[in-house]
């Protein structure tokens, strides 16, 4: 057997601890699969007193020194955040060390710089754990589907928000109560901002869009809305349409339609109604799932545990085996593929559909005035239903579902509706994503 592949682990928290455990427990299998022993030679942390149970001699607080130590071949980074992770990984890559990272924040912010450093030195950069935890998703996009044309990747990539929305859907709970339960059960962190405001999903959307469309997409290119404003009334409205509400990350390649003008990439995160008949609607609790549509392959779905120490460590170990095999074979895995360099479509120009529920005065001519607002913005109405009486005497509730229109036109329509005297209030505005299925309750086809 050839000489061992020597690994430095940066960070030993929720994920890092499980990486250490799997390397230790599976030493013989890993060696057989790689063709060389995989040896942990150092673990960098901030507070070594918390890690007294680790094998003596492994721990260090000199993380920068560990990365470039002569006895390190592969650097596994599970610290998180932008700095010092970026500088550490650049040092590793520039000096030819392979890198495995779970750091979606860094990859979405500056993955291009890391990829360039990897290309310059011929080192590997693998990051399967950065999106969807245990779910094998990035390598299928990057390798298995490299011969196909992906048209859309849409999914549930944040377990915390999916837990909250699933609880709201199944129990009728409000957002606050569902968040409280998620916190009590350990799904939501003490500061759940990155999850509930959509930033975690936006980082993952940037990574997915980059791989799917061979274009560098950064977190700042992703339109991002979280779930704080989703109400139990929204959830009830969705149920009436045969839908549920999910926080979706949607990455699409959208044809411009004009000859010679390139397609654009749309990457966006927001809560949206999806038909209950869609496989993503059945993804409950803290699970993740990603639906991939490609020209030749058709529709594919990837499902599993999107977070947690052991599931995430499983993906890290898969990458570690891959880069270790490459080192043993004297080669490297696929480079970053950003050749298409497609433009990013602004959210305002992206075609979406809205569901709007509003209280209006119930008298002659009201519907015509409201329809006129939609027409004025070039928005076509797909279905309207007047549902019983409004909250006040003489009022009615209207539910309107539109056809697809540029998002800015839909938003402007809602703004103008809110200004009308005959509109008493707007109860709920949500996007509707058919995702290839039919939203049927109002007789609306995609």
**Residue 159 interacting entry, from ligand NDP, ligand HSE, none, C-beta within 5 to 8 Å by type:** ligand HSE
Q: Which of 194, 159, 167, 103 has the alpha carbon at shortest distance from 290?
A: 159
Instruction: Specify the stretch interacting with ligand NDP by CB under 6 A; choose among 12-20, 189-197, 229-237, 244-252.
Output: 12-20
Instruction: Specify the stretch interacting with ligand HSE by CB under 6 A; choose among 3-11, 157-165, 168-176, 371-379.
Output: 157-165
Q: Single out the residue of 23, 129, 196, 238 in contact with ligand NDP (rule: CB under 6 A).
A: 129
- Say whether residue 79 binds ligand NDP (CB under 6 A): yes
Exactly one of 50, 94, 204, 246 is catalytic; which is it? 204
Q: How many CA atoms lie within 13 A of 12 on its CB side?
A: 27
What angle, rounded to 10 degrees, do the helices at 14-25 and 309-329 form?
Answer: 60
- Say whether residue 92 binds ligand NDP (CB under 6 A): no
Q: Are strands 223-224 and 264-275 parallel, antiparallel or unpaired?
A: parallel
CA distance 295 to 1: 44
**Residue 160 interacting entry, from ligand HSE, ligand NDP, none, C-beta within 5 to 8 Å by type:** ligand HSE
**Smallest distance, ligand NDP to C-beta of residue 105, A:** 6
Backbone angles phi, psi at 19, to 5 degrees: -65, -45
Length of the chain: 446
**Smallest distance, ligand HSE to C-beta of residue 81, A:** 13
CA distance 103 to 47: 20
Q: Single out the residue of 74, 168, 237, 307 in contact with ligand NDP (rule: CB under 6 A).
A: 307
CA-CA distances (angstroms) from residue 164 to 202, 212, 231, 270? 18, 28, 11, 14
Q: What stretch of H or E contains 181? A: helix 175-184
Is 104 an annotated catalytic residue? no
Do the Cβ atoms of 88 and 101 come closer than 8 Å? no
- Say whether residue 307 binds ligand HSE (CB under 6 A): yes
Closer Cβ to ligand NDP, 9 or 251, answer by number: 9
* Residues in 164-223 that interact with ligand HSE by CB under 6 A: 195, 200
* Residues in 37-66 that interact with ligand NDP by CB under 6 A: 44-47, 50, 63
Query: How many CB atoms are located within 10 Å of the residue 365 CB?
Result: 9
Residues found near ligand NDP in the complex (CB under 6 A): 11-16, 44-47, 50, 63, 78-80, 84, 102-104, 129, 133, 307-308, 312
Q: What is the set of active-site residues?
A: 204
């Amino acid at each position: 057997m050839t000489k061992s592949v020597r690994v430095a682990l940066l960070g030993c928290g929720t994920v890092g601890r499980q990486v250490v455990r799997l390397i230790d427990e599976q030493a013989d299998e890993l060696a057989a699969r790689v063709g060389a022993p995989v040896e942990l030679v150092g673990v960098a942390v901030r507070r070594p007193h918390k890690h007294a149970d680790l094998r003596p001699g492994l721990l260090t607080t000199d993380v920068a020194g560990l990365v470039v130590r002569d006895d390190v071949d592969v650097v596994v980074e599970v610290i998180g955040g932008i700095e010092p992770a970026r500088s550490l990984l650049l040092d590793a890559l520039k000096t030819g060390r392979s890198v495995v990272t779970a750091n979606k924040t860094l990859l979405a912010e500056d993955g291009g710089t890391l990829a360039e450093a990897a290309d310059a030195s011929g080192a590997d950069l693998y990051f399967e754990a950065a999106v969807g935890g245990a779910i094998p998703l990035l390598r299928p996009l990057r390798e298995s589907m490299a011969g196909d044309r992906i048209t859309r990747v849409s999914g549930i990539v944040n377990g915390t928000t999916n837990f909250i929305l699933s609880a709201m859907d199944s129990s009728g709970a409000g957002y606050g109560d569902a968040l409280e339960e998620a916190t009590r059960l350990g799904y939501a962190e003490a500061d759940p901002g990155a999850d509930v405001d959509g930033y975690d999903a936006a980082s993952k959307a940037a990574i997915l869009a980059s791989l799917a469309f061979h274009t560098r997409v950064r977190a700042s290119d992703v339109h991002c809305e979280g779930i704080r404003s989703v109400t139990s009334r929204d959830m009830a409205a969705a149920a009436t349409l045969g839908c549920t509400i999910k926080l979706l990350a949607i990455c699409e390649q959208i044809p411009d339609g004009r000859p010679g003008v390139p397609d654009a990439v749309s990457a966006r995160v927001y809560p949206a109604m999806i038909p209950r008949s869609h496989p993503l609607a059945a993804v409950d609790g803290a699970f993740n799932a990603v639906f991939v549509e490609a020209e030749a392959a058709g529709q594919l779905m990837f499902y599993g545990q999107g977070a947690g120490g052991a599931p995430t460590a499983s993906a890290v170990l898969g990458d570690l085996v891959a880069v270790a095999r490459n080192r043993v074979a004297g080669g490297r895995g696929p480079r970053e593929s950003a050749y298409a360099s497609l433009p990013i479509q602004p959210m305002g120009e992206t075609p979406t559909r809205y569901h709007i529920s509003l209280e209006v005065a119930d008298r002659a001519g009201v519907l015509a005035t409201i329809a006129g607002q939609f027409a004025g913005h070039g928005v076509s109405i797909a279905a309207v239903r007047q549902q019983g009486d409004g909250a006040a005497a003489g009022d009615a509730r209207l539910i309107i579902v539109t056809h697809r229109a540029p998002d800015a036109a839909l938003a402007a329509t809602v703004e103008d509706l809110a200004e009308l005297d005959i509109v008493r209030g707007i109860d709920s505005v949500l996007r509707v994503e058919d995702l290839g299925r039919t939203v049927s309750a109002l007789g609306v086809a995609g």
